[in-house]
Amino acid sequence: MRTIDKALKLLEEFDESRPEIGLSEMARLSGLDKATVHRMLTTLARHGFVEQNPQSKSYRLGAGILRLARIREASFPVTASIQPVLEQLSRQTGETAHASLLVGDRLATIGICESPKSTRVYLAAGQILHLHATASGIACLAYLPEDQAVRILNSGLEAFTQHTDTDAASILTQIRTARENGHACCDQTYEMDVFGIASPIFSAGGHACGAIAVATPAHRMTGQLRDSIIASVAEAACEASRRIGVEAPESFRRTVNRMVA
């Protein structure tokens, strides 16, 4: 279904920093012909996935998306369940906390609670995180079926900073360590100056369906702070899983208890 793929990829071009996109600009961004993009956008508009600003003629994400999100939240309230956990985690650690869910082979940020500190990590709403380059991603991979993890690691890993590890074998080692420890740490592998600590959120079946994480300015990180955040994040991950109706696997809970103690 290549046509559907292309149309849905158009929606990925929108983000917090680029909420409206004109026809020609979208054609350039997507690499598709302008006529094709126009037909796709009008089709998406008919279903409420985008809407056109009548003045500027630019397109933005549509109200139909809000409707679908409400339906999902009504029957499966992940965002609402996890938000209070994020707030407590942020309060406990004094840093920015966020949660993300697995969407395809990447993570989509679905909840953020910012630290009150003046120097804090800022995260854009709906940001996409790559599995190999973020603490959330490694934590997630650690509790995914290994064949899926291997497939992702072999699909070409992008470097985002000079610290991004793009070697599949080396990341597989990180993943195994994360599985043993119940958490993952990444030092500036996705964005400079950001240190991330994450633990997986579980879905029924014991596999990860997302992650909960704390992002700290890298310069602030010390061994002691790190250990304290790790314990809080792991506990928060357990609580988040519980709130969406899943008990974290026995092995994970043991690891967490060892840390908290």
Partner DNA sequence: ACTATTGGTGATAATAGTGAACCGATAATT
Partner DNA sequence: AATTATCGGTTCACTATTATCACCAATAGT
Number of residues forming the site for DNA (CB under 7 A): 22
Q: Which stretch binds DNA (CB under 7 A): 23-31, 60-68, 162-170, 192-200?
A: 23-31
State which of residues 75, 162, 222, 224 lies at the interface with its own copies (CB under 8 A). 75
61 binding its own copies? (CB under 8 A)? yes
- Rule CB under 7 A: is residue 22 a binding residue for DNA? yes
User: Does residue 242 touch its own copies according to CB under 8 A?
Assistant: no
Tokens of 168: 């599949």
Q: What mask of x and - would describe binding to its own copies in positions 126 to 145, judged by CB under 8 A?
A: x-x-----------------
**Which are the contacts of 213, defined by CB distance < 8 A and separation ≥ 6?**
97, 98, 99, 100, 134, 135, 136, 139, 196, 197, 198, 199, 233
- Give the one entry of its own copies, DNA, none that residue 171 binds, where binding means its C-beta sits below a cut-off of 5 to 8 angstroms depending on kind: none
Residues in binding contact with its own copies, number by CB under 8 A: 60
Determine which residue in the list 8, 13, 39, 167 makes contact with DNA, applying CB under 7 A. Answer: 39
Q: How far, in Å, CA of 125 to CA of 141, rounded?
A: 22
Please report, as a single letter, which amino acid is at residue 43. T
Minimum CB–partner distance for residue 25 and DNA (Å): 6
Cβ pair 60, 50 in contact under 8 A: yes
Geometric angle at alpha carbon 132, from 131 and 135, rounded to 5°: 75
Site membership for DNA, residue 169 (CB under 7 A) = no
Compute CA distances 4 → 9, 22, 57, 68, 98, whole Å.
8, 20, 23, 18, 31
Distances (CA, A) of 232 to 83, 114, 150, 155, 259: 15, 16, 29, 33, 9
User: Could you say whether residue 60 binds DNA (CB under 7 A)?
Assistant: no
Which of 184, 172, 149 shows the shortest CA–CA distance to 255?
A: 184
Pick one of 13, 33, 180, 227: the residue that binds DNA (CB under 7 A). Answer: 33
Q: Counting contacts by CB under 8 A, is residue 19 touching its own copies?
A: yes
Residues forming the site for its own copies (CB under 8 A): 1, 3-5, 7-9, 11-12, 14-16, 19-20, 39-40, 43-49, 54-55, 60-76, 78-79, 101-104, 108-110, 124-126, 128, 203-205, 207, 210
